[in-house]
Chains A and B, each alone.
Chain A
Amino acid sequence: MVAEGIPEIVYYLGFVTVSTIGLVVVLLLLISPKDPRPTPEKHAAFESGQIAAGRGRTRFIVQYYPYLLMFVVYDVVAMFLFAWAVNLRALGAPGTIPILVFMAVLLTPLAYALRLANKPENW
């Protein structure tokens, strides 16, 4: 049965979600103390004791952006391998030829992209 276990996990996730959010609401409204006259520093952004300056969302780290691009592509590729792996015994050795072609086509650009991404002078 493919659908086996789906209601249970949905009930479980629902129960965990409801009880955690319930706990947060109870804590925020009932238990946690309120400061009637908070100083401005209490609600300021934390910067190791300095007064917060400038934008909170600072510059992005862009040196590793090529890795992000590769991740977007090759994370999906891993899923295809799962589909092949689960049927490996049924497919046997002949079923391997398409996946070998698939991997060869996809891993060659990966090797080139990695060579470029690993070069510090391209950052």
Chain B
Amino acid sequence: MAEPFPDPIQMTLAIMTSPLFLKIAIFPGLTSIAIIAALLTWLDRKITARVQLRIGPQYVSPLGGILQSFADLIKLAFKELPLPEKADKFFFVMAPVFGMVLAGGLMGLIPFSHETLISNLEIGLPVFLAFVTLSPTLVLLAGWSANSKYPFIGGLRSLFQQTAYEIPLWLSAIGVVMLAGTFNLEKIVLAQSKGWFIVPQALGALLFLITSVAEQERIPFDLPEAEPEVIMGWQAEYTGFFFLAAQGAGFIKLYAFSALFATLYLGGYLGPGPLPPLFWSLLKTIGIVVAVILLRGTFGRVRIDQLLRAGWTILLGLALVNIVITYFIVVGFPTI
């Protein structure tokens, strides 16, 4: 190259103040994901406590214990990390770490507003679902590599659970693709400027919510980590930071799936009034998060055979019915 080599300090500064780096590192990227996941942990504990007529965390900070999860985070970071001697240590350590990376990677695809969108992929929705499909494989890897009974049973349960919800999840998202005619998540948002897709896609939205809760391994579908049955399942051997990564990935997924639900069915960042788009997308996301947390306080756990039968008969059947309904909407009313 003929140009002189640029000054490294200048170059670092230029990279660190570029909009892409700020999006990747601050919002909607890494820093905000960590903070929001910690706040969602607090919200989850607090709302579940309210449902069960308890108070929940209250001592750390005057504001209803809102810093409790940050205190837990520091506590877990300073714990000893004993690895089981029979475990396959490399995969045992890497499975929760890559689970967290995959969950965080989901946020790169969500359009919180036109400015705060990291990657405007033309195939955003299938890529999102492909990332999601990988995570039960990591759970199985974690359970297998721990070489212990409870994690192994939890990993297998995760595999069977995936077979039940994965196809209904994909098929319920197809209705949105049929209406919008694109995989691009931002174009899906813009296609809803005339009306949110939750109206023609009421059945699809319900199915998507149910199957996405199953994907997040939350009650009533928390079979792979059911505490009273398999003692946290695939997470049983994890302590300290690895436990934090396993739990944190679940909350990041809760955040990402709620944001995706808002994007697909509730018009994403579109909203009335002079308020910024970011406000609307975050408001809708938090609304879905609260609904999913309330599910946890309301329902009991399903059995694995119930989940498999319901997934393969009721959920799959309703997803196909939803595709037929959407087909007649698209063909019958081409102007929508």
Task: Tell me the bound Cα distance from A121 to B231 in angstroms.
Answer: 30
Known: A27-B241, A82-B126, A82-B177. A117 touches B105 (CB 8 A): no
Binds A, one of B163-171, B194-202, B264-272, B292-300: B163-171
Q: Are A15 and B29 in contact (CB under 8 A)?
A: yes
Is A37's CB within 8 Å of the partner chain B?
Answer: no
A15 to B26, CA, bound (A): 12
Given contacts A5-B122, A61-B156, contact A32 B149 (CB under 8 A): no
Asked whether B181 lies within 8 Å of A89 as measured between CB atoms, the reply is: yes
A82 to chain B, nearest CB (A): 6
> Are A5 and B147 closer than 8 Å at their CB atoms?
no
Closest to A33 in B: B80
Q: Which residues of B contact A27 (CB under 8 A)?
A: 77, 81, 240-241
**Which residue in B93, B121, B152 is a CB contact (below 8 Å) of A56?**
B152
Instruction: Determine if A44 is an interface residue (Cβ-Cβ < 8 Å).
Output: yes
How far is A118 from B311 in the complex, measured between Cα atoms in Å?
Answer: 12
Q: Whose C-beta in chain A lies nearest to the C-beta of B309?
A: A118
Looking at the assembled complex, report how far the CB atom of A34 sits from the nearest CB atom of chain B, in whole angstroms: 7
Instruction: Give the distance to chain B from A121, nearest Cβ to Cβ, in Å.
Output: 13
- Chain A residues lying within 8 Å of B182, measured Cβ to Cβ, are 86
A79 and B130 alpha carbons, distance in the complex (Å) = 11
CB 8 Å contact bits of B88-110 with A (1 = contact, 0 = none) = 00000100011011001100110
Complex CA gap A46/B105 in Å reads: 32
Chain A nearest CB from B121 CB (Å) reads 4
Q: Tell yes or no: A68 within 8 A of B by CB.
A: yes
Of A75, A85, A114, most buried by chain B (CB within 10 Å of CB) is: A85
Specify which chain B residues have a CB less than 8 angstroms from the CB of A47 in the assembled complex.
148-150
Q: Which of A17, A60, A63 has most chain B Cβ within 10 Å?
A: A17
**C-alpha gap A96/B324 in the complex (Å):** 11
Q: Is B146 an interface residue (CB 8 A)?
A: yes
Residues of B within 8 A of A17 (CB): 98, 101
Q: List 12 A-B contacts (CB under 8 A).
A: A4-B121, A9-B127, A15-B25, A27-B77, A32-B241, A33-B79, A46-B236, A52-B148, A57-B147, A57-B152, A75-B167, A81-B323
